[in-house]
Structure 1
Amino acid sequence: MGSLFSHLTLILVRRSIMLRKKLGYIVLGTVIGSVFTFSTGVFAETSKLVSAYLANHIRFEFDGEIKKPSEDKPAIIYKDSVYVPIRFIAEGTGMPITWNAQTQTIEIKTPEPEVIEKVVYVEVPREEKEEEKEKKEEKDTRNYQTYPITKTYMNMDVTIQTVLKNDDETKVFIAIKNKEYPPLQLIQRETVIEVDGVPYKVSDISDLRWDTKWYHDIRKDEIREGYIIFKEIPEDAEGIHMVLKIMQNDGSGKYTEVPFDIKVK
């Protein structure tokens, strides 16, 4: 009878081992995911045996960095949920963790956010002294030329012929020769004018006094003469900086800016 009992016990042990290998899981003592050490008495009173799968194949990613739990404390799968040591998660997310033995509590604290002091500098414009303003107005490095002045391009020649100053207006007389087939047109309104660094506008004069010759196309081999009119300039003016905008009037939208620095006689 004793021999039969021993034989049956051996069969049951072997079947148990085979069953464990077949199912591929190990009976674990506890699945709370903690790496803290608890007393045997507390463990016995608060825990129970469960069955779970070892999950060594599972990896974890923390802010783009791949990590795996240690070999002796692997992740496990229990009832379709993944469990890992709580210290592994806490350290991976940068959260301090402690075990409070008195209250039997695992304490996880969120780290204090780093405070970065940002200093913004605002530039406060200082008031210029009258002397500095006068120096700026006096400083003019342009090389003014005596007219007639001619600028030559592939498709045209542009000449400043003369400057005429009246009581309430200034006229700069211009000649434009078209050397190619696309027609040209001078855009009076967009002329840039500066007298000793001070800006002037064609629009300051009524358009009724503008030169109507520039409203028409300048054809190939044609020379068009006319003027640009703007307000009177000072008697002691040194020079006029002028930029003419001449458009290629064939629908292409192409234009040429022709600059002049004109010495006032």
Structure 2
Amino acid sequence: MKEKMKYGVTGLALGVALTLSVTSISAFTEMINVYLRPDIQYVVDGEIRPMPSGYTTLVHEGRTYVPMRYMAQTLDADVLWDEITQRVIITTPQPEVLPEPEEPEEEPAEELEAEEEIEEEPAEEPAEEPEEEEEDTGQPAGNYRRLPVTQYHEDLEVTVNLVTLRDKDGRESASRGRVDTTRVYLRVENEDRTPYEIRQGKTIAIVDGKEYKTADVGFQHYDTKWYKHLQRDDVIEGYISLPDIPEDAKEMRLTIFAEKHGVRPELIEIEFDIALDLK
């Protein structure tokens, strides 16, 4: 669950991950509540840039605070803490100025000889091979990660811990006989004052471009733990069943549905991009 901690913050809320003198700022601090959000990722020019060990992201009153040294170095800038002036000094790299190319001296034109000029046939250029188009598998694009994977909705925390194949529990469907199922094991914690309910029957998974629905496995494969509401500070660990997926499956886009109860009930979607390793 997101950790809540109290920090002393100077008058400027900079999120700077630098070492400051406790003596010099002690007269200007106050205690506030912030969230630690190690799950937030940063993408620079299409590339995920992970934080070094010991750095983390803070969230305070809906705003995200990033360590200044990490952000400056990510943008190829230098950052320095001046203890005397109490300043954070950032220096951006200067653009490289390339010298202008020198114009070549014109050579005198050669006199044409009286001999008959022989025209050379141009060499045939090799035919360009057509570029191979990437096969569209139908799998949604995303940042697919190994388990466990955690997602948040406000103060609701949902973690997918395990995906198992062919969970033969011995029960049979009255119409279809034995049904082998895939089970997705979850841990759900609610710190909101408003109760939530996991609507397992609406769960959808797209695995390597093919759709799988919990509604197709039958009620006898539902986990009864999700029939209760998650009140504040409740934690439930259980599973959600899906139709049997291939053993060599690579990627799963899993969509969990949770209903937030209140004056106006709200159905929310929580998505997970999971890199599978089922063998």
Q: TM-score range by the shorter chain?
A: 0.3 to 0.5
The answer to which structure has the higher helix fraction is 1
Larger Rg: 1
TM-score w.r.t. length of structure 1? 0.47
**How does the TM-score come out when normalised to structure 2?**
0.45
